[in-house]
Amino acid sequence: MNIAESIANQLFNFGVRYVFGIPGGPSIPYLEAFRNAGIEFVLTSNEASAAIMADVTFRLTGVPGICHATFGPGATNISTGIGGALLDRSSVIVFTSEMGNEMLNRTTQMNISHQKLFEPLTKATYRISADNVAEVMESAYMACRENYPGPVHIGLPADIANIETDAPANIPQSVKNISYPNPIHEILVQLGKSRRPLLAVGLTAARLGLKKELLAFLDSYKMPVVLTPMAKGLIPEDHPCYAGVLFHSLSDYLEDIYEKTDLVIGIGYDPVEYNYESWIPDVPLVHFDSIETDMPASLKVLQYKGPAEEWFSILDNLDAGLMIFDERAIKGIRNEMWSVFNGFTNHFGPAAALKILQDELPENTILTADVGSHLHLIGQFWQTHERGKIIMTNGWSGMGFGIPAALAAQLNDREATVVCITGDGGFLMMAGELVTAKRNNLPVIVVVFSDGELNLIKVKQSWKNLPAYGTTLYQGDLFGSDTFLGVKVLKADSDYTMRRAIIEALSVNEPVIINAIIDPEDYKWLIVRR
């Protein structure tokens, strides 16, 4: 077989069924090889979307997501989504077309060093040759899955696709495990002394799917639990130990809980979402993760590096009989936060729109959330009901994430109800992907919280006592029509029209936009100043 066919066959054997991207001329042999191997090439409107869709495909399937771009501008565009895979810890392989050896270091159209471009954004970057196809593919597959998982770049020289190779389609069987020295004795001492521990659960725990283990642990050792945003859904929001989500809306209320603790226990807590020192009180920290994490010298931290089953085995050394657990206090704070939130639902703002969506959508909805003020409310107040799922970006926090994330979710689960909530700023960045949704028959519901501004920046300007400047997106109605790029637009500007729009959107098997025209004033009261 030739190199293009070898790569396609190896990807198929890895479990890959989609490649996302925008092709260039040198991509043609690879597209044909993907088609023949049983891999669907999903054409996107923007290369950044392709990388986001690859990222979310990994999150939902556990199979590395694959994306592709052409020279220069294709590579720089896709790099935005690759940064997301790096800091949101997703296993992705990004292929880019590159100049052949003769032109690689010449001055020529669209030519930059892709290795230099992707080096700070990936765990590794490679360049395929006729002699290293099998080695590079196996190395990339291993590297993108090793802890932490992340993206790997492979350059495809423009002139090698049709060269014959006898490279075998091997599947690496395992990811290497690394052993670390761990301060077991010191950790056991801290666990034995603790009377008011607090559990902080994060992105690594979510990626490892530790919901069952966490709930079993909390049955035996009751303590308050706080989550980072991307760990939302690991613990039911009505669980007696559930306190809330750090960093997001009204999270300052949680200070009453964690300021009373004598020990913070981090379970798969990834500081890429929210650094410990931004909230932790002056108490010891025991941090469990799969790798060693950089920590400031100011923290009194003990780190344990190892597999998750060992974390819970060590935590069995807590003395449940001596622990003090104030369930009433946790419930009281939760109720107080909800009371404040519900106080903003008497007019059509983001709180009311979010509450109506929660009421009308099925409990097992897959919700993707874009970046902006609305994300702070979603992260704290959206209820997963155990069966639902929230997909967001927090380590990278790139606007425009929501729509391509929803398309990837729908592609990987054709029967699911998939809803994207985005601000109008994020929508405008990726609006072209609605054509991708139509072309692939993806009935996603895109809810646009339309307020005509970059509200989060406006709120932050107000914290500095500055007037709003550089944040106005448009005047009047964002759409001004009942269709956009051939997609139906349903206008919602009240509780009644919002409910009616959701019901209609759920009744049709096609992509739909809900233009929710909201009053943004809620945000300045509900977003915590940082």
Query: According to the model, what pLDDT value does residue 102 have?
Result: 80
Residue pointed to by tokens 């997001």: 248
Instruction: Specify the DSSP class assigned to residue 233.
Output: T
Sequential DSSP letters for 300-352: -EEEEES-HHHHHHHHTTS-GGG----HHHHHHHHHHHHHHHHTT-SSSSHHH
What tokens appear for 367 in the block? 């919700």
Query: What is d(CA 194, CA 165) in angstroms, rounded to the nearest whole number?
Result: 61
Contacts 24+ apart (CB under 8 A), 134-141: 134/6, 134/10, 134/167, 134/168, 134/170, 137/6, 137/7, 137/10, 137/167, 138/170, 138/172, 140/93, 141/10, 141/14, 141/64, 141/93, 141/171, 141/172
Q: How many angstroms separate the CA atoms of 416 and 362, rounded?
A: 10
Joined tokens for residue 20: 């996302």
Residue among 468, 381, 374 nearest 426 (CA): 374
* CA gap 450, 493 in Å, rounded: 10
- Domain extents for the chain? 3-157, 184-332, 345-526
Per-residue pLDDT of 323-332, as tens digits, reads: 999 999 999 9
Residue 277: closest CA among 251, 249, 298: 298
CATH topology of domain 345-526: Rossmann fold (3.40.50)
Classify domain 184-332 at the CATH topology level.
Rossmann fold (3.40.50)
Residue given tokens 């729908």 in the structure block: 410
CA–CA separation, 177 and 78 (whole Å)? 31
**Within this chain, domains 3-157 and 345-526 share the same CATH topology:** yes
Listing DSSP states for 56-110 in one string gives HHHHHHSSPEEEEE-STHHHHHHHHHHHHHHHTT--EEEEEEE--TTTTTS--TT
In whole angstroms, what is the distance from residue 138 CA to residue 125 CA?
Answer: 13
pTM: 0.96
**510 to each of 163, 359, 441, 489, how far by Cα in Å?**
43, 22, 7, 12
Q: CB of 243 within 8 A of CB of 327? A: no
Cβ-based burial of 196 (10 A; exposed 0-12, middle 13-18, buried ≥19): middle
Q: In degrees rounded to 5, what are phi and psi of residue 220? A: -95, -30
**Using CA atoms, how far apart are residues 478 and 300, in angstroms rounded to an integer?**
51
* Secondary structure, 3-state, 339-373: HHHHCCCCCCCHHHHHHHHHHHCCCCCEEEECCCH
Q: For residue 161, which of 58, 32, 21 has the smallest C-alpha distance?
A: 32
Do residues 300 and 285 touch, judged by C-beta distance below 8 A?
Answer: yes
Structure tokens at 330: 């946790």
Structure tokens at 430: 């990726």
CB 484 within 8 A of CB 403: no
Please give the backbone phi and psi of residue 96, each rounded to the nearest 5 degrees, phi first.
-130, 145
Residue 100: the pLDDT is 85
| Burial readout 90-107 (b: 16 or more C-beta within 10 A, e: otherwise) | bbbbbbbbbbeeeebeee
- The token pair that represents 285 in the structure block: 């920290």
Cα angle for residues 430, 435, 439 (degrees, 5° grid): 140
Return the CATH fold of 3-157: Rossmann fold (3.40.50)
> Which residues of the chain are modeled with pLDDT < 50?
none
State pLDDT tens for residues 499-508. Answer: 999 999 999 9
